[in-house]
Structure 1
Amino acid sequence: MVAAILSKAQNIMADPLARPRLELAEQPADVYAIGDIHGCIDLLLSLEARILKEAATRSTATLIVYVGDLVDRGPDSSAVIEHCLSSSLPANVERLVLCGNHDLTFCEFLLQPSLSSPWIGWGGIATLASYGIHLADFEKTGLPEVALSGWLAERMPRSHRKFLRELPAALSMPSAHIVHAGMRHHVPMQEQTVRDLMWSREAFLVEEPASDRRIIHGHTPFQKPEIGLGRIGIDTGAVYGNALTAIHLQGEDYRFLSIAAQ
């Protein structure tokens, strides 16, 4: 299902910051999209366990999609990425992880690290700490800043860096587009820029459908799932002490699942 199209997209990526837009001609019977995780590994494990319990009652295909922003601000970004890489799933379940703006800026930092990078102040300190990395330790070495890239590479798993470089930007299905932030109105998916898909906010969050399909997105936190005209926002601010939310899509029908922060 998803693995085949994702593999094909990764094989044609020449730019390490390019992000493929995936499309499924046939939608799985059950699709769960999970909102912004931001290092909240315990909430993610609890919510995904609930989804897998539901999937175990069915023989049909289930797809779990993370809408991006795996990292930054929360307690354990490295554990979230490791979970994506190492956890096994039942035969009828697949997982697809999309790239959020925080994942993208983390990736950009790793490609060209700088002690003055804005990403550090956007939650990057917590992400680096989850790897046992503290930039103050690098500064104490007295090494020039050009040595920072190698210093980080020694301390962060290569598999995590590769994972971040290959995250796709969007998934389109017959009933919906799933993206991190939003879309530019009335622009075909393949013409949407990375900024459109990962940073959209005010221009997207208007009372006008942006596409002919429903858009499922995160990025902008709400107290509860936000049902707009032609869109549904599922970032419910888990990293701020609120719930982590998923939307369960069955064709055009949907329902929500949430795990409250303790």
Structure 2
Amino acid sequence: MTTDAIQHADDRNVRSARRRRLQRQLPNTDIFAIGDVHGCLELQKKLEQLILEESNDVSRNKLILYLGDLVDRGPDSKGVIDHCLSPLPEGCERLSLCGNHDQLFFEFLLAPSLSAAWLDFGGQETLMSYGVDINQLIAGRANDEDLALALSEAIPGEHVRFLEALPVALTVPEAYFVHAGMRIGVPMEDQEDHDLMWIREDFLVDEAASDRLVVHGHSPAPTPRMGPGRIGIHTKAVGGGPLTALHLNGETTRFFSVAAE
């Protein structure tokens, strides 16, 4: 099924409320934005360790910011969310935004269905990381009620609440951080959640989307993707590429990346 079809296939599913858009000043803080993890727990842990080792200025705070798509396709979506909920050293904060895959996972949990399009969009791998085997359920002639029961037993409530609470954007004086991008010329407060999580072709053009830098994931490329007023850092970690972070210190930027050994 195509990406466009996935966007519209589950219109009957229960939708969550409009997601929060955060605004912070973050003085004396280094921001480390990380692209799409997609269940690659070992790369996630490796990149965070590199960030903590390389950013050894104890006088500055550190924000590790995930740009969404924590789940799907990779081997350990459950482990990735567990790690996002784990503690960090003093002076460090971890924050995650909502990507389209995280949103689809949450919607699936609200209305489980063995025929959901999300299952073929990376969802089967996500559920397997929780010990829920869709093919086994189908082979055993399970119905949607059986699926809902299996999910309630396998997926911690803390994970459901985590997905529900994910904001869709972070605004700081220097930049907007979002999963996919922004509708060009539209103020952040008027942006649609769907665009912030799904937009691609209408954003990746030769025109800046806003009055400040937009840092995003979602659109994969072998290396960080630069454009007018934007930097994309989805570098295909789940497809054998590296997991990449953008370090933003005021208007100064640099990249960190780790790859599978």
Question: In the alignment, which residue of structure 1 is the partner of 2:21?
Answer: 21
Between stretches 20-29 and 185-194, larger displacement belongs to 20-29
Question: In the alignment, which residue of structure 2 is the partner of 1:138?
Answer: 137
Alignment of 1:21-60 (within 5 A): 21-60=21-60
CA RMSD of aligned residues (A): 1.4
Question: In the alignment, which residue of structure 2 is the partner of 1:89?
Answer: 88
Separation in structure 2 between the aligned mates of residue 220 and residue 143 of structure 1, nearest angstrom: 36
Q: Which runs of 5+ in 1 are unaligned?
A: 1-14
The answer to whether the Cα contact below 8 Å between 1:209 and 1:231 also exists between their aligned partners in 2 is yes
- Does the residue aligned with 2:101 lie in a helix, a strand or coil? helix
Structure 1 runs (4+) greater than 3 angstroms displaced = 139-144
Question: In the alignment, which residue of structure 2 is the partner of 1:10?
Answer: none
Question: In the alignment, which residue of structure 2 is the partner of 1:205?
Answer: 204
Query: Normalising to structure 1: TM-score of the pair?
Result: 0.90
Separation in structure 2 between the aligned mates of residue 140 and residue 92 of structure 1, nearest angstrom: 50
Tell me whether 1:99 sits opposite 2:98 in the alignment. yes
Alignment of 1:1-262 (within 5 A): 16-85=16-85, 87-262=86-261
* Residue 143 of structure 1, CA deviation: 4.6
User: Residues 28 and 72 (structure 1 numbering): CA distance in 2 closer, same or farther, change over 3 Å?
Assistant: farther
The answer to whether the Cα contact below 8 Å between 2:214 and 2:231 also exists between their aligned partners in 1 is yes
Separation in structure 1 between the aligned mates of residue 222 and residue 70 of structure 2, nearest angstrom: 19
- Does the residue aligned with 1:154 lie in a helix, a strand or coil? helix
Counterpart of 1:58, as a letter, is V
The answer to whether the Cα contact below 8 Å between 1:16 and 1:166 also exists between their aligned partners in 2 is no
The answer to whether the Cα contact below 8 Å between 2:114 and 2:143 also exists between their aligned partners in 1 is no
The answer to whether the Cα contact below 8 Å between 1:169 and 1:179 also exists between their aligned partners in 2 is yes
* Residue 91 of structure 1, CA deviation: 1.4
User: Residues 186 and 168 (structure 1 numbering): CA distance in 2 closer, same or farther, change over 3 Å?
Assistant: same
The answer to whether the Cα contact below 8 Å between 2:207 and 2:228 also exists between their aligned partners in 1 is yes
% same residue: 52
The answer to whether the Cα contact below 8 Å between 1:69 and 1:99 also exists between their aligned partners in 2 is yes
Query: Normalising to structure 2: TM-score of the pair?
Result: 0.91
- Give the count of matched residue pairs: 247
Separation in structure 2 between the aligned mates of residue 17 and residue 138 of structure 1, nearest angstrom: 31
